[in-house]
Amino acid sequence: MAPSDYSKPFINVSSPYPYVAVVELDRPKKLNSFTQQMFTDIGSVFSRLSVDPDVRAIILTAAGDRAFTAGLDVTAASGGHIGGDSNPGEDVARKAWALRRHIKEIQEPVSEIEKCEKPVICCMHGISYGAAIDISTCCDIRICSKDSRFSVREVAIGLAADVGTLTRLPHTQVPMSWIKDICLTAREFSAEEAMTMGFVSGVLEDKKALLQRAYDLAKEIADKSPIAVQGTKAVINYSRDHSVADGLDYIAVWNAAMLQSKDVKDAMLSGIQKRTPTFEKL
């Protein structure tokens, strides 16, 4: 089954290069804003790519020139739980229970992006609001084009971000003073500011250059041993949430198996012989 078979309405999946999958948000007329279904769908796309042996690196991008995504489609979500009044007499605690379940239901597919075993490169351009931050903080590498305009929108619509932005932004390890500034004011920030603060690790001239850079990164990663690449991702994520002592213990257990891979020898030999190694699927 090819990556393209994973496509969903408004979400295209393709594989322009061997071992590289591209996931494209494709609802440009609505600025790629998210319906609830799209949250569910993007989670299922990533959980399938996560275990597909033909995929070693993933690029996340969005169609059109104007936006990566404008965030949640408020109109489409209007019938939903948030801010609704559909059942004013309902018991507050039961409503709270339903809301908590609902939030966890949306958190789960988004977390699938973070749990994806393959590295994910997030390419942002134009309007990158709300869900753009939720989703991009689940990715491994964030780059953007010069015209990007970011915003953590939630306080502007009366709520504390709950799909992951407030939780994951501190773990991107950018300065807390700046995180508080952008989250408490909901103000827009530019590609340049995002780069200075370390939210993104690259700013490209335009969307075309952005995608080219992403392809280059993805290919560089896809050429490496998948054992090494995916192990590196897993262990960095673990270390981020644990102490140094725990991290050292974890990698020792991890590599007890992984160092027995033929990839290690193949990679070393290729290095000495100055040729590109080929690695088995994982």
| Residues between 44 and 83 that touch its own copies (CB under 8 A) | 51, 74, 81-83
Closest C-alpha to 140, from 39, 57, 259, 79: 57
- Report the residue number, 4 or 100, with the smaller CB distance to its own copies: 100
Candidates 12-20, 36-44, 60-68, 274-282: pick the segment binding its own copies (CB under 8 A): 274-282
Those residues with Cβ within 8 angstroms of residue 150's Cβ, 6 or more apart along the chain or in another chain: 124, 128, 129, 132, 133, 182, 188, 189, 190, 191, 194, 199
Closest C-alpha to 23, from 184, 214, 227, 204: 214
* Among 54, 186, 190, 209, interactor with its own copies by CB under 8 A: 186
The DSSP 8-state label assigned to residue 33 in this structure reads P
Closest C-alpha to 235, from 253, 223, 218, 247: 247
Candidates 16-24, 60-68, 203-211, 273-281: pick the segment binding its own copies (CB under 8 A): 273-281
| Residues between 240 and 269 that touch its own copies (CB under 8 A) | 240-268
| Residues between 3 and 32 that touch its own copies (CB under 8 A) | none
* Among 191, 200, 210, 211, interactor with its own copies by CB under 8 A: 200
- Report the residue number, 12 or 143, with the smaller CB distance to its own copies: 143
Distance of alpha carbon 164 from alpha carbon 155, whole angstroms = 14
- Report the residue number, 208 or 265, with the smaller CB distance to its own copies: 265
CB of 183: closest distance to its own copies in angstroms?
A: 5
Binding track, positions 107-146, relative to its own copies; x by CB under 8 A: x---x--x----x--------------------xxx----
- Size, binding site for its own copies by CB under 8 A: 115
- 8 A C-beta contact, residue 115 and residue 50: yes
- 8 A C-beta contact, residue 238 and residue 247: yes
> Does 41 sit near its own copies (CB under 8 A)?
no
> Does 214 sit near its own copies (CB under 8 A)?
no
Distance of alpha carbon 19 from alpha carbon 3, whole angstroms = 10
* Residues facing residue 21 across a β-bridge: 58
Task: State how far Cα 143 lies from the chain centre.
Answer: 11
> Does 271 sit near its own copies (CB under 8 A)?
yes
* Among 67, 109, 164, 207, interactor with its own copies by CB under 8 A: 164
